[in-house]
């Protein structure tokens, strides 16, 4: 072999080795870049999945909370309706008092009032005769149309003791008692 051939072969071998080394380095760099990108992608996907999981939990919690609030509101609404029905029944029962029960109630309530001699008692028409027959120390009239209870005009002051008005005025205090009796 001649010197040129030896040199050419040496160059060829060196070139082949250099190309293999360059290819190996390139493969190594490519693998490193791929690993880094895979790690970065895995980290980013984990962050996205974790965030989505947290958001899903928040949505579920909000839905549960909303459902609980709606259920509580429905229960409260139903209780309010029951309490209102109780007051309606009480009002109806009071409107249906027997004449004697009405007169007894009337006497009890009038005795609590400080009335003038010119006071006028207004009663529902259906109780007028029974109240007059009791011969109370007050002028009795059925001129004012009342459904229930009574009213008293004492000078310039009108005492309104119609049952619906009495119930309305004491409703806040009575609601607590009714709720305690019904729902405890």
Residue of 95, 105, 109, 94 whose CA lies nearest to 152: 109
pLDDT of the residue at 145: 80
Residue at which a domain ends, from 44, 62, 96: 96
As a whole number of Å, the CA-based R_g of the chain is 48
Beta partners for residue 122, in sequence order: 141, 151
Q: Please tell me whether residues 85 and 122 are part of one structural domain.
A: no
Question: Which pLDDT score is estimated for 68?
Answer: 95
pTM for the full predicted model: 0.62
What does the alpha-carbon distance between residue 50 and residue 82 come to, in Å, rounded to a whole number? Answer: 48
Residues paired with residue 151 on neighbouring β-strands, in sequence order: 122, 160
The DSSP bridge partners found for residue 79 are none
Three-state SS annotation for 92-110: HHHHCCCHHHHHHHHHHHH
What local confidence, expressed as pLDDT, does residue 169 receive?
A: 86
Q: 69 CB contacts (<8 Å, ≥6 apart)?
A: none
Amino acid 101: pLDDT: 93
Residues spanned by the domain of 106? 98-183
Question: Which of 55, 72, 96 is where one domain is finished?
Answer: 96
pLDDT along the chain (184 residues), means of 10: 76 83 88 90 90 92 94 92 89 90 91 88 91 88 82 90 88 85 82
Concatenate the DSSP letters of all residues of 124-154 into one string: -GGGHHHHHHTT-SSEEE--S--SSSEEEEE
By C-alpha distance, which of 159, 152, 100, 105 is closest to 126? 100
Contact present, 142 and 161 (Cβ < 8 Å): no
Q: Are residues 19 and 85 in the same domain?
A: yes
The pLDDT value given to residue 1? 58
CATH code of the domain covering residue 106: 3.30.2320.30
Number of domains comprising the chain: 2
Q: What residues contact residue 86 under an 8 Å CB cut-off, 6+ apart? A: 178, 182
Minimal CA–CA distance to 150: which of 166, 162, 164?
162
> Do 73 and 102 lie in a common domain?
no
**Coil vs helix vs strand at 15:** helix
- Residues 46-96: tens digit of each pLDDT: 999 999 999 999 999 999 999 999 999 999 999 889 888 988 888 888 889
Q: Are residues 105 and 179 in the same domain?
A: yes
Same domain, 52 and 83: yes
Same structural domain for residues 8 and 60? yes
């Amino acid at each position: 072999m001649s010197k040129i051939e030896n040199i050419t072969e040496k160059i060829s071998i060196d070139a082949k080795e250099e190309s293999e080394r360059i290819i190996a380095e390139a493969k190594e760099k490519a693998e490193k870049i791929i690993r880094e990108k895979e790690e970065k992608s895995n980290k980013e996907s984990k962050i996205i999945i974790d965030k989505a999981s947290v958001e899903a939990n928040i949505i579920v919690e909000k839905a549960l909370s909303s459902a609980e609030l709606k259920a509580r509101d429905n229960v409260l609404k139903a209780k309010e309706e029951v309490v209102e029905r109780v007051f309606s029944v009480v009002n109806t029962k009071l409107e249906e008092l027997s004449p004697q029960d009405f007169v007894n109630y009337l006497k009890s309530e009038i005795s609590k009032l400080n009335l003038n001699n010119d006071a006028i008692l207004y009663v529902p028409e259906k109780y007028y005769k029974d109240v007059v027959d009791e011969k109370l120390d007050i002028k009795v009239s059925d001129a004012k149309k009342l459904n229930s209870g009574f009213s008293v005009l004492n000078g310039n002051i009108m005492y309104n003791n119609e049952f619906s008005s009495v119930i309305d005025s004491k409703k806040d205090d009575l609601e607590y008692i009714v709720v305690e009796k019904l729902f405890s």
